[in-house]
Structure 1
Amino acid sequence: MVLNKWLISLLLCIGSICYGQNTTKKTPLSEVIVSLEKQFNIKFSYAVEDVATIKIDKPNATFTLQETIDYLNSKTLLNFKALDDRYVTVSVLNKTISVCGIVLSDEKKSRLVGASVLVNNIGRSTITDKNGTFSLQNIPINATLTISYLGFESRQFSANELFSAQNNCKDIVLSTKNEELNQVLINVYLTPGLQKYLDGSTVLNTKKFGILPGLIEPDILQSIQALPGVESTNESIANINVRGGTNDQNLVLWDNIKMYHSGHFFGLISAYNPNLTNKVIVGKNGTSAEYSDGVSSTINMQTKDLISNIFSGGAGINLISTDAFLEIPLTKKLELHISGRRSITDLFKSPTYTKYFDRSFQDTEINADSDQNNTTSDFYFYDYTAKLLFDLNEKHQFRANIIGINNALDYSEIGLSSSNETQSKTSTLSQKNMGYGGNWKAQWNSKLSSNFITYFSKYNIDAADYRVETDQLLTEANEVLETGAKLNTHYKTNDNLNFLFGYQFNETGMLNQTTVSAPFYSSTIKDVLLNHALFSEVEYNKKNTYLRVGLRLNYFQKFEKLLVEPRINIRQKLSDQFALKLEGEFKNQSTTQIVDFEDDFLGVEKRRWVLVNDKDIPIATSKQGSFGVEFNNDKLNIEATGFYKIVDGITASNQGFYNSFQYTTANGSYTAKGLEFLANKTALHYSIWISYTFSTNNYEFDTFTPSTFPNNVDIRHSLSIGFYYNIFKNLKIAIGGIYRNGQPYTKPIGGNETEQNGNNTLVNYDSPNSENLDDFMRLDASINYNFNLLKSIKASVNAGVINATNQNNVINRYYKVNPNNPNDAVQVDNKSLGLTPNVSFRVNF
């Protein structure tokens, strides 16, 4: 303890010294001259313009007059000469001088190649070389230079400030340009790397990410589940429920490309490699009018967008996969960023893999522990990304992106055919999402800028299921093709007011196909939908007021239908500690997922994408409002937000009913309302938080009896607690727990569990969602250690455990007819992950 106090005192002492050294301010020479005239009772004779831009450290008060003159001569390009005891003349030694500098970025202090250096008013300019260095000769001593680089704040210097008699070029650090009117409100939100913006959105900066319980990498789709109002009722990132919505109601963007697939291992691992993902913005309400098509939330992932001209990269391995990424400078203005990840599960069956496999494939045809030992399965996944960055000049940027995600499963079965012969047949399942995108950013002048975005997204899931006992081959396919283009134009009238005008076009095509070999059956459904949108908004931020008001007009060409979507986002600061928050939005969605428990993909993937037809599958629309109070003082942040949300246009087929409504065609709505609470205290070495959500979420289907009943994801109470602590400089731990109500389910009628429907025997269900599973509880923990492997290579070891107490959680329950007794219904429970450890090792250079 004494040693710790001594170290802290030493660090504070050193910090104070450093602070004192860095805060020494230079004084304008004109002020120094006035002071010296009073001190020595003399007069200086000089031209005002010769000294107007010069700043120096004040001479020592103990200097004599001659020592003072010598000091001034050594610190300036002026000639100070005493004519007598009363008068001192000041003249310019050189009318022109040489200047030089080294331009650096503020984050990594990396050298910025191609930065613009402009000598104001005389038309002289240059750019920095491959070392970030520039030099200019014969520059007027009273000239002003402007140094600028796209994506950074410009800075101005006098020529005299950049002059060095010893040719030691000055370091010029440019700060990353803040997003327009979107300053960070809370810099550390739960853990380092998580931030909160003024508009209420949550931002994950993967490069600065600390640690969260159970995680070994900055996975946004896992991280956001620590926020109030965000759940995953079946513990899957492929099924994130934001304020009571289904997963397909989340708009997922990767570098402006709309993605239709989010998870490896059928939802247990994020499909997006975080190592090149620079920032992720998550919005639950009050989103910009620029975005639509996600009635529950917007998850916007952005990769690194600046050219650093530094070769860097990293690689890592854990008990599930290995990955690598590189940032490769090609020229001063051209750079390539690439990443790749692949599972190692087909080479090494770790305990983590076994836990994930059992969780993913329980109650399916794929059974790794078959009692008859007549099945084998092979599962693997991979993903890759590439981004080409090209800066034409200071005002124009071009970017091109590609992302690929793939899951593959081979399932072999040995059995007796209809002719009693032993046969071995292989079934396959392939799930892919490819995306291509490009954008052109242009800064036309200091007030006007634009961003033109295009993208193409392709999602495929294909399955071939061979059933040996019936000699039947079932093939299924679901395909999505989407092309989009968007033009955003920003006009900034001043530092406080910004206008956005834009247009967006989308063409979405979908295919669903099923074929059966014996007896032969084939079904193919194709559909295409065109959507045009105009949007505009104004954003204002000054002192204590933040305001964003927008309007989006959506026109569906096929249905000749116009939807008007207003948006509002207001934050008013009442004092240094208290603020009020008001958010509201209308949104629509033209794509949805239907859930089919009979005609699924090998029993593993039950969801497939379909387009709305404005009839039995209408356009889903949402109306949401929320009001909150925020308290922020001495790094203690407390938030309480009430919300009310109505989503209309849902169908029975996209809700995943495990009851009598499972095969019913009907349209309805759900209403979610509740209160979210978060308290978070941060300090230099720790962060502790508690989040709680109370909500009610009810369906309304007019054609059902009863017409109103609890939603499948109606979680009334949800509590999350977490603690992050930086033990030493390089050692961090995080511990956290989740407690929530079990989700609703429907049980059969006691004593009359099945019923006859023609030749079929079905489960005779009771009132829908009238029962709840046992409460869900889980404790997670993580530890992180960073160290220098070599001088230029940093390494880290991460370990995490999910469900450290091995809690036996049931996350879903349904019933099926007992094949041995058609009068009974068999209860089927799906379990959550048991105790699941994982370890990773990473290097970065």
Structure 2
Amino acid sequence: MNVASLKAQTIQKEKQPLIAVLKVLSETYDISFSYVDDIIKNKEAILPEETLTLNEALEFLRLETQLDFELLDNRFVVIKFKKKKKSDFRVQNLEEIIVTNYLTTGITKLNDGSITIKPKTFGILPGLIEADVLQTIQAIPGVLSTDETVSNINVRGGTHDQNLLLWDGIKMYQSGHFFGLISAFNPYTTKRINVYKNGTRAKYGDGVSSIIDMHLPDDIDNEFDAGLGFNLINADGYIKVPLSRNTELQLSTRRSITDLINTSTYDQYFKRVFQDSDFSKGKENRNSISQNETFYFYDIAAKFLYDISKKDKVRFHFLNVNNNLNYDEQSTINDRDEALNSKLSQQNLAFGVTYIRNWNKKLSTTTQAYISNYNLDATNFDVINDQRLIQNNEVYDISAKLDINYRFNNLFKINSGYQFSEVGISNLEDVNNPNFRSFVRNVIRSNAIYGETEFLSNNAKTKLTLGGRLNYIEKFDMLFAEPRLSFSQRFLNHFRFEILGEFKSQTTSQIIDLQNDFLGIEKRRWVLSNNNKEVIRNDNQIIYPIPVSKSKQFSTGIHFNKNKLLISAETYIKKVDGITTRSQGFQNQYQFRNEVGSYEIKGVDVLLNKQFSDVISSWISYSYSKNQYTFDNLNDGNPFPNNADITHAITFAGTYTNNNIKFAAGLNWHSGLPNTEPDVNDDPIDNNIDYQSPNSNRLDEYLRVDCSATYAFNISDSAKATLGASIWNLLNKNNIINTYYTLDENNEINTVENKSLGITPNVSFRVNF
């Protein structure tokens, strides 16, 4: 096709900002663009016709913009200035993307070891019809959930509280709706998610296991965007509207429909979440009946963007995540009816403001301040024992940070900054029979400075990021350094070698005092480190040691990528010191122990990902790991398996994408979790169960097959609809995800088994404008 015909097909359209054109082309041709912001600044172009091939569209843009559009691997387009004479040539130093369709479209692996997920261009994964943020990351090798929830994500053997979750730079303390089965973050207003398993940037504190950094759109493109949708659990809507040339409002909301209508999906979720809670136990008790239950959740997110000038920008952030459960417990005692209301509410409220200043082409600063407030509140009535229990767990996190970026030249850039945080956590327990009240509140203030240097060679084959973070905790007078390392070297064109390392720490953790805390639904409560060396007894209270958790991790990897075939292998070792038994959820002989120890995990993650043409992608991943605890005062100081120790894990999946149809199917298998069984010779006459060696047994293997499909079609010129359907656990496999033992009133040992979700269908319908 010649130049004249190219122009003829687009001559009737008006020019628009180039960034808006690139956004449309990314979705139309399923490609990614990489560029330096200054290159496309103030550039305009006509949107090419959809009938053009990708190469024809890029050629048209070359003529329109006088820029060079270089297509790499049919998926990745680098935008550069056109080459001039040698003396005028400006080398553009760009971040190298290793794999653009990592597992599926919208998931990208970068050469710093991180993985980026873009829900807007997300393809499809087995069992998912929407880009649930925290479900999607579990497709990454080394990331899984031992109990199928997004509120218990285990990254390389760590517990969920060891993951740092950031929403537009704000730390979040609640991650799930439906008490862990659904991500609390709306994917339709999330632009990208950066996931770090190791080699974390120096600007990140906390998160000794991983960083999950979610970003909303941050540029004003003066385009209207909106959508509405529902599935068998919730309905949602979002809107992105330009209020003026330099202001924009982003708003989204989601609410469950579970208190309005019962569906098969809701029934399965309800059975899964409440199977081992006080709510279900009340129903099982013949003298007590739970009724009139109401459960719902919702979230509201808002972001206001204001470009004060070409150099100054300000952003305001708001998020409210909420879960609520109410139920009446009715009982008949001595021919008298008793009915009392038990309830549980969980909320994370966040406010933030960000100011961005671009001083010149080389220097920019970002200043942010935020407040994140988490509140877990429960009232539990036991009508049979005439007892009322009130429990509350509240977190206040106030933080301010300054981030500085300076680019020396095309080879080197520096990132440095300062962060102050004040975290206050309170815990309340109030019992009326017998009378007991305990209220504990602790506060930790910390200061941190950080800096790192990044080098990226002109040919993008070598990348080195070297930095560190210096933390000072005022309360404990603790000063400690955390070095960070990320090195990547491409060789023989298609191979890449990688080294990652980091030291990290955190002062917050989640513990379980009793398994029936907070109605047995949300057992974990947030606590702060106290840095005590021994048990302290004060005012009839016992304060157990909770150290500052510290981690060390090192990993190496080699990756081969050619002809849409990726072979990746990573080996790692990670050690985390300063964990407590109460943070690990023991339900054996160590359930009521309060000891301090560590865990060490060694493992290998292997991935084989092959794309056949442009419509079929398949992958198989395998993870091997050995994860062990060491507590000086437990098991004679000898190591024993971690509660999250999964020795072998295999995922096999495939996706098919052709025009508007997407289909995915996959299998997840892993070896059984550790388990501690009672001693076969035990006769529990002392009202205690004698156990075998800790975690010396294993549950049965876990197996789950999922599938999903979506179909997109146009309702009108400005409206596009998507219909989706999925089945979770297609084979209805009866997976046991936890087993523990109790004594009944006859001093007999009962076996309690927590089961995974059974076969769970879901359908969805969305309209985007």
Quickly name the TM-score band, shorter chain normalised: 0.7 to 0.9
Corresponding residue for residue 123 of structure 1: none
Superposed displacement of residue 666, structure 1: 0.7
Contact 2:18 2:43 in 1 (8 A): no
Residue type at the aligned position of 2:296: Y
Distance 1:287 1:177 in 2: 28
Cα 1:262–1:412 change in 2 (3 A) is: same
Corresponding residue for residue 153 of structure 1: 40
Corresponding residue for residue 341 of structure 1: 254
Corresponding residue for residue 783 of structure 1: 709
- The correspondence for 1:840, drawn from 744, 750, 764, is 764
Please say if 1:213 is aligned against 2:100. no
Contact 2:19 2:40 in 1 (8 A): no
Task: Please give the secondary structure, in 2, of the residue aligned with 1:763.
Answer: coil
Cα 1:493–1:347 change in 2 (3 A) is: same
Contact 1:110 1:310 in 2 (8 A): no
Task: Please give the secondary structure, in 2, of the residue aligned with 1:470.
Answer: coil
Residue type at the aligned position of 2:464: L
Superposed displacement of residue 495, structure 1: 1.6
Cα 1:231–1:656 change in 2 (3 A) is: same
Which string of whole-angstrom CA distances, capped at 9 and with x for unpartnered residues, describes residues 449-475 of structure 1? 111111110000000111111221110
Superposed displacement of residue 777, structure 1: 0.2
- The correspondence for 1:541, drawn from 445, 456, 462, is 456
Residue type at the aligned position of 1:247: H
Cα RMSD after superposing both structures:
2.4
Distance 2:131 2:393 in 1: 31
Give unpaired runs (5+ residues) of structure 1.
1-16, 25-99, 112-147, 158-169
Cα 1:587–1:150 change in 2 (3 A) is: same
Task: Please give the secondary structure, in 2, of the residue aligned with 1:762.
Answer: coil
Corresponding residue for residue 479 of structure 2: 562
Superposed displacement of residue 228, structure 1: 1.2
Superposed displacement of residue 110, structure 1: 7.9
Superposed displacement of residue 105, structure 1: 3.1
Distance 1:679 1:448 in 2: 41
Moved more, 170-179 or 400-409: 170-179
Corresponding residue for residue 174 of structure 2: 261
Distance 2:37 2:562 in 1: 35
Q: TM-score, normalised by structure 2?
A: 0.88
Which string of whole-angstrom CA distances, capped at 9 and with x for unpartnered residues, describes residues 257-282 of structure 1? 00000001111000001000000000
Cα 1:584–1:424 change in 2 (3 A) is: same
Task: Please give the secondary structure, in 2, of the residue aligned with 1:808.
Answer: coil
Distance 2:283 2:129 in 1: 28
Which string of whole-angstrom CA distances, capped at 9 and with x for unpartnered residues, describes residues 737-778 of structure 1? 10100100100000215252xxxx122111100000000000
Residue type at the aligned position of 1:503: Y
- The correspondence for 2:115, drawn from 202, 207, 222, is 202
Corresponding residue for residue 699 of structure 1: 629
Distance 1:491 1:503 in 2: 15
Corresponding residue for residue 557 of structure 2: 628
Which string of whole-angstrom CA distances, capped at 9 and with x for unpartnered residues, describes residues 458-502 of structure 1? 000000111111221110000000001111111101122110110
- The correspondence for 1:404, drawn from 294, 315, 320, is 320
Superposed displacement of residue 717, structure 1: 0.2
Residue type at the aligned position of 2:595: A
Cα 1:280–1:149 change in 2 (3 A) is: closer
Corresponding residue for residue 395 of structure 1: 311
Superposed displacement of residue 173, structure 1: 9.7
Distance 1:184 1:385 in 2: 30
Cα 1:554–1:211 change in 2 (3 A) is: same
Please say if 1:739 is aligned against 2:663. no
Corresponding residue for residue 29 of structure 2: none
Please say if 1:246 is aligned against 2:163. no
Corresponding residue for residue 83 of structure 2: none
Please say if 1:594 is aligned against 2:594. no
Distance 1:239 1:177 in 2: 41
Cα 1:242–1:745 change in 2 (3 A) is: same
Please say if 1:722 is aligned against 2:653. yes
Cα 1:318–1:236 change in 2 (3 A) is: same
Distance 2:151 2:515 in 1: 20
Question: Which one has more relative contact order, counting CA pairs under 8 Å at least 6 apart?
Answer: 2
The correspondence of residues 230-629 of structure 1 with structure 2, limited to 5 A, is 230-367=143-280, 370=284, 372=286, 374-376=289-291, 377-417=293-333, 420-542=335-457, 543=459, 544-598=461-515, 600-615=517-532, 616-629=545-558
Distance 2:694 2:603 in 1: 22
Corresponding residue for residue 38 of structure 1: none
Percent identity, aligned pairs only, is 43
Superposed displacement of residue 107, structure 1: 4.7
Residue type at the aligned position of 1:267: G
Superposed displacement of residue 815, structure 1: 0.3
**Equivalent residues, number:** 698
Task: Please give the secondary structure, in 2, of the residue aligned with 1:840.
Answer: strand
Task: Please give the secondary structure, in 2, of the residue aligned with 1:754.
Answer: coil
Task: Please give the secondary structure, in 2, of the residue aligned with 1:564.
Answer: strand
Contact 2:131 2:187 in 1 (8 A): yes
Which string of whole-angstrom CA distances, capped at 9 and with x for unpartnered residues, describes residues 580-635 of structure 1? 10000000010000013345001111100000011110000000000111101111
Distance 1:295 1:149 in 2: 32
Which string of whole-angstrom CA distances, capped at 9 and with x for unpartnered residues, describes residues 681-715 of structure 1? 12311110011000000000011124210000000
Superposed displacement of residue 103, structure 1: 4.0
Distance 2:285 2:564 in 1: 57
Contact 2:17 2:42 in 1 (8 A): no
Contact 1:698 1:710 in 2 (8 A): yes
Which string of whole-angstrom CA distances, capped at 9 and with x for unpartnered residues, describes residues 384-414 of structure 1? 1000000112211110000000000001111
Corresponding residue for residue 74 of structure 2: none
Cα 1:627–1:18 change in 2 (3 A) is: farther
Cα 1:151–1:239 change in 2 (3 A) is: farther
Distance 1:302 1:177 in 2: 23
User: Which of the two has higher C-alpha Rg?
Assistant: 1
Give unpaired runs (5+ residues) of structure 2.
25-34, 45-62, 70-77, 81-91, 533-544
Please say if 1:796 is aligned against 2:722. yes
Distance 2:340 2:583 in 1: 32
Corresponding residue for residue 127 of structure 1: none
Please say if 1:648 is aligned against 2:572. no
Distance 2:621 2:644 in 1: 19
Superposed displacement of residue 438, structure 1: 1.4
Residue type at the aligned position of 1:721: F
Distance 1:507 1:387 in 2: 24
Corresponding residue for residue 735 of structure 2: 809
Distance 1:152 1:335 in 2: 23
Distance 2:285 2:435 in 1: 32
- The correspondence for 1:688, drawn from 618, 630, 649, is 618
Residue type at the aligned position of 2:311: K
Distance 1:297 1:572 in 2: 23
Contact 1:731 1:784 in 2 (8 A): yes
Please say if 1:228 is aligned against 2:141. yes
Distance 1:660 1:808 in 2: 27
Cα 1:681–1:640 change in 2 (3 A) is: same
Distance 1:661 1:308 in 2: 56
Corresponding residue for residue 669 of structure 1: 598
Distance 1:694 1:421 in 2: 59
Cα 1:336–1:692 change in 2 (3 A) is: same
Distance 2:5 2:338 in 1: 81
Residue type at the aligned position of 1:690: I
Contact 1:754 1:764 in 2 (8 A): yes
Distance 1:583 1:737 in 2: 30
